[in-house]
Structure 1
Amino acid sequence: MKLVRIGPKGAEKPAIATESGFADLSSVISDITPETLADLPSALKGVDLSSLPAIEPGRFGSPISRTGHFIAIGLNYADHAAESGMPIPAEPVVFSKAPSCLSGPDDDVVLPQGVEKADWEVELAVVIGREADHVSRADALDHVFGYMVCNDVSERAWQIEGTGQWIKGKSAPTFGPVGPWLVTADEVGNPQTLDMFLDVNGKRCQTGNTTTMIFAIDEIISYLSRHMVLMPGDIITTGTPPGVGMGMKPQTFLKEGDTMRLGIAGLGEQNQKVVRRKA
């Protein structure tokens, strides 16, 4: 299944992709939320999608209305660690993005006042479908509901300079575009074979494949579940391949008017314009 939420911000309707477009799921579920994820497959069982009203594609919101925990894994591609001047980690590097940074795949990325080193990161995001507490690698993927594209937008000065607290550089509103689709795990199959890319102003900056992750999805979920309980609706964004602005020579960062286009095979594409927050 490819699940989406379509409509103006704050008034999105849940929908599902069909052969002819998108079907409105409002009569089946109130919204795609952490609470409705677990029951969604059974709620859709036996539903004739062709009988549901069509919904015209417009603005795509985040495919899940909110998340309780937006977890991120840093330096999870060896060549990205190298371009960042950091050693390959011996275990997953874990940090958080504020849940309030969640935004739609094509919404503007808004630079807060004072931001001068904003950067891009195309990533594969995992959405947890059922509680994971001390799960093994062998069972880890059974706890995945689906996958999304994520742009882990980062402000490098806030992330690394000064006291160097990553959450500060990762959490501004609109710094977490996800979607356009939440694709269920059964449709994705093996998440470790997915091509990914990101363009800035039409120039290819990032090209990668999830096969080159240092820590695979099952290992990440198992590792995290030994340190915290993962709950339905939690998002884990799993690291980026090389080609970020911080790694360029000279370093290149996002500025007002820039555009980004990014995608992952089978999960859709995002398109964002960079704007600056008004005082």
Structure 2
Amino acid sequence: MTLPALSSQPGTLPLLDTDVLRTFVAIAESGSFTRAARQVFRTPSALSMQIKRLEETLGHPLFVREARQVRLTPEGEMLLSYGRRLLKLNEEAVSQFLAPSLEGTVRFGTPDDVGTRILPGVLTQFARTHPAVQVDVVVGRSTEIRRRMEEGELDLVLVTAGNQGQEAEHGEIVHTEPLVWACREGGVAPRRSPLPVSLANHGCAWRAMALTALDRAGISYRIAYTSEHCAGQEAAMLADLAVAPFPLSLVRAPLRKVDREASLPPLGDYQVVLIRREGIGAASEALAGHVVEVFRDMSH
């Protein structure tokens, strides 16, 4: 027996059922009724009936069923966005009453480029679910915040690492994306010789990846600018004074990815790694869960 997709009272709009929403999101994210059935502990036929009822009630098909997978229709993509938000709000509401009350302080370290992207979302969600926990944030280079964690000053840290970085062996990889060469749109820096490069200081994974790639390719370069923060690299690019290794997601106008005409070597992917200090408490583990969730949402 399957639960109704929606419930309603006469004269009112129907309400989406949380259980059916969870089923819908599981199918959308796994791309398969069979895989989703294992996640929600139901049979594929039961899931199919739930989705059919949901599609009938909403008046739109939500999935295109193909031989070995299913994919979302435009209406399904719209519902997926609402579904994730509704499930998250439901979790927050329930946690206010049922989750154990956490108190204390969590000391969290992050590089500036990573923190800028995730901290607003992480801190907002964490404050809603655990308002009694104080979060102290330290922003700095990966090597510095890792050292401070080893000395017991930080509980959780995010660090960046290349594909061959040893950091990944000590923590959980929460994000992977391409590192690319970037420059000013319409600029001439990529065509200069030796190539002017803007880099972070020693110890940065992006710096190591860029210099290794240039050396292997035999490209003549000069380090024109160095900075503690990626904002310094961006400033040099905006002024058309240098190119820089930059995450693809951060390359926005008036910056652009360097085209093939410059013959610069590929840089590969870099990773963001979450490292926990041994013996951290429940509050730190709860914040770690929020960090992982925010990166997972970014990847969808």
Asked if TM exceeds 0.5, the reply is: no
| Bigger share in helix | 2
Q: Which has the higher contact order (CA 8 A, sep 6+)?
A: 1
Tell me the TM-score normalized by structure 1: 0.22
Larger Rg: 2
Tell me the TM-score normalized by structure 2: 0.21
